Chains A and B, each alone.
Chain A
């Protein structure tokens, strides 16, 4: 049919862009994935309002030389289109490399980049797929991408966006998923110049969860660890007392990638069988490791769906893992008195207040921390650091003695 032909570059770009870049959160996701591919250990994400006006991603990855940067912009996703089949093939292979082109087609893009140890960096400005402006500039090692006026040339796409607050929360959710998938990378997320969260990048999923979701969630989580021949699962699940009215706090990460999969949902919820109220959903942060050959990545990159070749085995493993973990804990909610027991000290004696040791049943119900973090150590004896501070009021710096 003569209707299928070579498309003009700009139009092709717009189509490609439209498919991948549905909303500001997609821009963030693509750029951050670029940064991760570049080996970054620090990624800063900042946005204003709903993300249309401004999104900035800064990383300390390998950066690009001038040539590499221009090349990254010139890759066309559509130069080889002749039929629908080719379109499919190209999209499923390394589409991420084309992120910049897509974004450049629908926004005002600025890239500042430099490889490590370079004296000078490169600044490139692109608008709506037109010719790029290139100049030499001072730049730190890494890449800094600024996206302004997203969808300025596609008003239809702009109209379809949800309210600003919703779009903003999508961006936060996108970065959250990436932070959970990559605990070894430090993410700093800022919204309207106010900090949202900063993860340490020290490699522990526990740290990321505690930082992003806070103490209240963290304290209600139980550790889960399964090694099965089909899959290795590690992470945290919430006590049955910690539920939500929807599935928002369920994060499944497969081989370092956030995914959605009904099998996993099912396995998780069946493990809680009988312990949850109707229409209440459990909380979970779980890492799955399996042979990449046994995963089918779905066609559309943004939908994040996957299929497993050994679905039944994986579901079973998850179900058992959850059930076991839940079974091992006394699930009656504990009461935390605001104030610990123990006799008050008399002023003339030593000042360490005897505390009930952690792990004893001083409280009703067990405490999470023992099991979930594995180790439990008794408080060590007071140590006096060398050269104590010279405190006001005659504190000699020795423990247990306020007067010398």
Chain B
């Protein structure tokens, strides 16, 4: 059985795109065949049918109408497929036989940019990773907005750094060299955290090839020295090559490649971003309460994306931070300025993604209309900033290109109410193009003539109900009801008979019909051409509009921060280069907003590298320890983002990294035990923290046995105090650790105030100096309404255990601490027996230099006897 020509054509094209779903244009539909059809039917939930291909054979088929294809494409991408669009590139009416078809577009998750289907305030990134020597390179692009950047990672922790940056970017697709198993594995792991399509690349370009590719394509390429940036260049080259292959248009909106270093910004690893719930909460929802949710009062898509970027990459340079801060302050203080901007900004569409559509030649007349409306707002923004005082605002104002010429062009050329399609006319405004106006007049005149003819014929024939109508089959006709047939003149030619009427034509009518429809068709075609030209002219000015979009994005972000500051009562923090941190009346920005009707209780914090380096927070669970230590991290992050902070006052010494080790977010999926994960995270922290870092540690050592955990916790704390010098908040349930404050001047004890009322406790949520002497675990258990019997038995056991231990010294040589026997230190178990303790005590009290050798030998003998004794 030979294939029909069409099936052969299909198979030929499909052979080149085996890894994609091929959408094959057939008339008004995009069809899929064979396995594609089955996959699509399942994933898109549409009907699987079949198509006859001659000789009784049928092949599986399913299809979607062409005007609704965008939604279906989006769904296919969501399911992780790649899509190839195959269009009819010739006019089917022009020639007979098989129409020529070609793949005009390949859409993959990373190259998808339809603004209607994407989340507005989030970028959709395509990333490429490569390896070069001892470094990794990473390049990232958003084809919707035109953003293109690259960075590299080197050093022993480069894999972790790469992982971290990937979790920040959350790309939807990642290119990697085919055959590199390590990278493949990394991407598989990341794929567990967010949807990521790994795309292996067969061809690897060398560094030279990559650089020349980049230079060909882009106006500017700025890359610093270093092996990691060579790898970055290769990654960038891979992206360009991939785009050339899949996108059949010139990517005018991607103008340059900017290099960056992850260390230019505050370093936040994936765990920290998750633990602090910056843009997603711990459960992984985006909808739940997050810091971004509290701050986001942006009015434009660009603003939303910019704000997110600022949040994810807090700054390290004091001047840059203060520059943003001053702008926020200006907006906070100047209510008139602040209340003017929202109305103006609300009318601005997603300029960046609209430009993407222009570049991809998919922008419709409605899109250009949206562009026009947005451009109209630009001079108002500029005007609104006239009275601004802050340097950054003035800078934005002065660098805002209002693109007034483009606005004028669109205002003059574009029809004020165009349809969705491009082949229905009404794209161009009257008065812009002479020929279009003429054709329109002609059409109108023709219609007027028809109306006149109708009136004239009615008079001539006396048939008052005579009508002129139109349909696709017969064109224009004269319709006469059956009862009036007698009055029909002889020059009428009968064309169609209906139940109640007959339809006629006249030669004159047909002449006019040809003119009118001819004019209409010509008009539509001409409008289409003129529209394409218009679109081209906009495309030529992309850079200017992009620049304006970025200014708007920044302004909107600053305004959002100011709005959040006023609404949530934030204060302006003072930023210093010192190593200390003082917060008065600090609050958790997310928790305080999520507690309607209750009052969040503010607390102070003082951290430095002297006497307040490591704050040990003990106290009952549920009392607010975790909230407290997290709020300190969030306040520092907000400050370094340029925002105001939820506190009465704050002085923040700039921090280079924030690390968190919080809670037991079990990584069952990655096949590691909780404790292993915890140790990995702690190890990462201890290796990478510097004296300028901020560490937030919550319940270290919880995932293992008590003594192991306590030992590790203590050792970690001592390491931080002695070696790292990083400011640390250490929340723990091990009360033994409170003795650190006695042994190290840098450690201080704090606890959460709790008031006892008989058998109940009241959480006062106030952080006070001192050590908690009790866990109140049983009180909490009572609050959780454990059965009364269980509670009472627990209380009895507690008294027993406490009674045995209180007042006795404990040989804590395992922990390397000597106690002073002042009691109040709870220990769960006895490490040594009574004999051993006595022996140790005696040993401690010996004075070897005052003993004769014989005395010493005797003493040893006695001690051994003691030990053997029982």
Residue-wise, chain B 222-240 has the 8 Å CB interface mask toward A (1 for contact) of 1000000000000000000
- Measured CB to CB, the closest approach of chain B to A397, in angstroms, equals 9
Contact at B258–A379, with CB atoms within 8 Å? no
| Interface mask (B593-624 → A, CB under 8 Å = 1, otherwise 0) | 00011011110000000000000000000000
Interface size on B, residues (CB 8 A): 71
A94 within 8 A of B: no
Task: Please determine whether A382 and B394 come into contact, CB atoms closer than 8 angstroms.
Answer: yes
Interface size on A, residues (CB 8 A): 68
A140 touches B376 (CB 8 A): no
CB distance A206 to B219 under 8 Å?
Answer: no
Q: Would you give the 0/1 interface string for A132-171, flagging 1 where the beta carbon is closer than 8 Å to chain B? A: 0001111111001010000000000000000000000000
From known contacts A193-B596, A198-B567, A207-B335, infer whether A384 and B764 are also in contact, taking CB-CB under 8 Å.
Answer: no
Q: 1/0 per residue B308-351: CB within 8 Å of A?
A: 00000000010110010000000011111001100100000000
A339 touches B343 (CB 8 A): no
Determine if B404 is an interface residue (Cβ-Cβ < 8 Å).
yes
Instruction: Tell me, in angstroms, the Cα distance from A121 to B764 when the chains sit together.
Output: 8
Contact of A392 among B146, B383, B408, B755 (CB under 8 A): B146
Out of A144, A186, A379, A400, name the residue touching B599 (CB < 8 Å).
Answer: A144
- Do the beta carbons of A399 and B395 come within 8 Å of each other? yes
**How distant is A222 from chain B, measured CB to nearest CB, in Å?**
15
A318 to chain B, nearest CB (A): 25
Q: Does A385 contact B (CB under 8 A)?
A: yes
Q: How many inter-chain contacts with C-beta < 8 Å in the A-B complex? A: 176
Contact in complex: A353, B382 (CB < 8 Å) = yes
Interface check B708, CB cutoff 8 A:
no
- Is A293 an interface residue when CB atoms closer than 8 A count as contact? no
Task: Given A344-B408, A353-B404, A385-B395, decide whether A392 and B335 contact each other with a Cβ distance below 8 A.
Answer: no
CB of A334, distance to nearest CB on chain B (Å): 14
Interface centre among A186, A344, A358, A404 (most CB of B within 10 A): A344
Bound CA span A206–B336, Å:
8
Q: Which residues on A sit within 8 Å (CB–CB) of B332?
A: 200
Contact (Cβ within 8 A) A399 B569:
no
Partner of B762, one of A136, A140, A358: A136
Q: Which of B149, B402, B546, B764 contacts A137 (CB 8 A)?
A: B764
Check if A206 sits within 8 Å of B596, measured CB to CB.
no
Residues in B whose Cβ lies below 8 Å from that of A392: 145-149, 256, 258, 550
- Cross-chain contact of B339 among A210, A386, A402, A404 (Cβ < 8 A): A210
Q: Mark A187-204, 1 if CB is under 8 A from B, else 0.
A: 010000101001110101
Q: Which residue of B lies closest to A54 (CB)?
A: B597
Residues in chain A near residue B320, CB distance under 8 A: 385-387, 389
| A351 at interface by CB-CB < 8 Å | yes
Verify A394–B335 contact, CB threshold 8 A.
no
* Structural contact, B317 and A387, CB atoms closer than 8 A: yes
Q: Is A131 in contact with chain B by the CB < 8 A criterion?
A: no
* Cβ of A393 under 8 Å from chain B: yes
Give the docked Cα–Cα distance between A382 and B332 (Å).
Answer: 22
Cα of A364 to Cα of B386 in the assembled complex, Å = 19
Is the pair A385, B768 in contact by a Cβ cutoff of 8 Å?
no
Interface check B773, CB cutoff 8 A: no
B567/A393 in contact, CB under 8 A: no
Report the minimal beta-carbon distance from A206 to chain B, rounded to whole angstroms.
7
Give A192-237 interface residues, CB cut-off 8 Å to B.
Answer: 193, 195, 198-200, 202, 204, 206-208, 210-211, 214-215, 218
B604: min CB distance to chain A, Å: 10
From B380, B391, B398, B543, contact of A352 by CB (8 A): B398
Q: Which residues of B contact A193 (CB under 8 A)?
A: 596
A135 and B761 CA atoms in complex are apart in Å by 12
Q: Which residues 336-384 of A sit at the B interface, judged by CB distance below 8 A?
A: 338-340, 342, 344-345, 347, 351-353, 355, 358, 369, 373, 377, 379-380, 382-384
Could you say which of B317, B333, B546, B599 contacts A58, with CB atoms under 8 Å apart? B599
A108 to chain B: which residues have CB within 8 Å?
none
B376 and A339: CB pair below 8 A? yes
| Among A358, A385, A393, residue most surrounded by chain B Cβ atoms (within 10 Å) | A393
A138 in complex: contacting residue of B402, B567, B596, B762, CB < 8 Å? B762
Which chain B positions have C-beta within 8 A of A120? 753, 755, 764, 766
Main secondary structure of the interface of A (DSSP, over half): loop
Q: Are B399 and A399 in contact (CB under 8 A)?
A: yes
Q: Are A393 and B543 in contact (CB under 8 A)?
A: yes
A119 at interface, CB cutoff 8 A = yes
State which residues 836-865 of B face A: CB under 8 Å. none
**How many whole Å from B609's CB to the nearest CB in chain A?**
26
A218 CB contact (under 8 Å) in B336, B404, B768: B336
Whole-angstrom CA separation of A193 from B593 in the bound complex = 11
What's the Cα separation between A102 and B766 when bound, in Å? 33
Report if A403-B220 is in contact (Cβ < 8 Å); known contacts: A195-B567, A344-B408, A355-B382: yes
Inter-chain contact A394/B402, CB cutoff 8 Å: no
Q: Which of B399, B403, B550, B600 has the most CB of A within 10 A?
A: B399
- B601 contacts which of A136, A140, A379, A393 (Cβ < 8 Å)? A140
**Least Cβ–Cβ distance between A235 and chain B, in angstroms:** 15
**Any chain A CB within 8 A of the CB of B515?**
no
Q: Does B763 contact A (CB under 8 A)?
A: yes
Instruction: Answer yes or no: B397 CB below 8 A from chain A CBs.
Output: yes
In the complex, A29 has a CB within 8 A of chain B = no
Q: How far is A342 from B404 in the complex, measured between Cα atoms in Å?
A: 9
Q: Known A198-B567, A353-B404; judge A386-B599 contact (CB<8 A).
A: no
Residues of B near A389 (CB, < 8 A) are 320, 554
User: B765 — nearest CB in chain A belongs to which residue?
Assistant: A138
Nearest CB in chain B to that of A202: its residue: B333
Query: Do residues A138 and B601 form an inter-chain contact, with CB atoms below 8 A?
Result: yes
CA–CA, A151 to B321, complex, Å? 52
Asked if A200 meets B333 with Cβ closer than 8 Å, knowing A351-B401, A392-B149, A393-B546, the reply is yes
A340 to B377, CA, bound (A): 11
Bound Cα distance A144, B343 (Å): 34
Chain A residues, CB < 8 A from B391: 383, 385
Asked if B762 contacts A340 (CB within 8 A), the reply is no
Query: Given A119-B766, A394-B222, is A340 in contact with B602 using a C-beta cutoff of 8 Å?
Result: no
A95 contacts chain B at the CB level, 8 A cutoff: no
Q: Are B319's CB and A387's CB within 8 A?
A: yes
CB pair B401 A353 closer than 8 Å? yes
Whose C-beta in chain A lies nearest to the C-beta of B753? A119
Query: What distance in Å separates the Cβ of A54 from its nearest Cβ neighbour in chain B?
Result: 9
Asked if A182 lies at the interface with its beta carbon under 8 angstroms from chain B, I say no
Q: Is the CB of A140 within 8 A of B755?
A: no
State how many angstroms separate the Cβ of B233 from the closest Cβ of chain A: 16
**Cβ of A139: which chain B residues have Cβ within 8 Å of it?**
599, 601
Contact (Cβ within 8 A) A347 B544 = yes
Q: Does A253 contact B (CB under 8 A)?
A: no
Query: Can you offer 23 A-B residue contacts whose CB atoms are under 8 A?
Result: A58-B599, A121-B764, A136-B755, A138-B765, A138-B766, A139-B599, A139-B601, A140-B600, A141-B602, A146-B597, A198-B567, A200-B332, A208-B335, A210-B336, A347-B543, A351-B400, A353-B382, A369-B387, A391-B550, A392-B256, A392-B550, A393-B543, A400-B399
Q: A340-B402, A399-B395 are in contact. List 19 more A-B contacts (CB 8 A).
A: A112-B599, A119-B764, A120-B764, A140-B599, A200-B332, A202-B333, A206-B336, A210-B335, A339-B376, A339-B407, A351-B399, A355-B382, A379-B397, A383-B398, A386-B319, A387-B323, A391-B550, A392-B146, A399-B398
Chain B residues in contact with chain A, CB under 8 A? 145-149, 219-220, 222, 255-256, 258, 260, 317, 319-320, 323, 332-336, 339-340, 343, 376, 379-380, 382-383, 386-387, 391-392, 394-395, 397-405, 407-408, 541, 543-544, 546-547, 550, 554, 566-567, 569, 596-597, 599-602, 753, 755, 757, 762-766, 768
Closest 8 interchain pairs by CB?
A344-B405, A394-B256, A207-B335, A394-B220, A382-B398, A138-B764, A138-B765, A393-B255
